[in-house]
């Protein structure tokens, strides 16, 4: 495959970049909000699970001693 000169390369890059379907501002904001909400939901879920496991282990260890 023949190598393109730098000018042709830049033209090809611009042509490919023009094909990209960029998200709208609204789509970007909506997706960002969803990511933050899901992050908080997962953080709360794992915090609760961690606390339950710690409580269970404390109960088991207190019975053993």
* CA dihedral for 3, 6, 10, 15, sign (positive or negative): negative
Q: What is the mean pLDDT of the chain?
A: 93
- pLDDT range class, residue 1, cuts 50, 70, 90: low
In-domain check, residue 49: yes
What is the structure's pLDDT at 2? 67
In-domain check, residue 58: yes
* Counted domains in the chain: 1
- pLDDT range class, residue 65, cuts 50, 70, 90: confident
Expressed as residue numbers, the domain containing 63 is 41-65
Residue 64 pLDDT > 90: no
In-domain check, residue 65: yes
Percentage of the chain modeled with pLDDT above 90: 83
What's the alpha-carbon Rg for the chain, to the nearest Å? 26
In-domain check, residue 53: yes
DSSP string, 27-42: HHHHHHHHHHHHHHHH
């Amino acid at each position: 495959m023949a190598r393109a000169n730098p000018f042709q390369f830049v033209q090809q890059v611009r042509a490919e970049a023009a094909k990209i379907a960029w998200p709208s501002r609204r789509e970007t904001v909506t997706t960002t909000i969803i990511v933050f909400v899901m992050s908080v939901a997962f953080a709360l879920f794992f915090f609760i699970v961690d606390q339950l496991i710690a409580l269970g282990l404390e109960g088991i260890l207190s019975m053993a001693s």
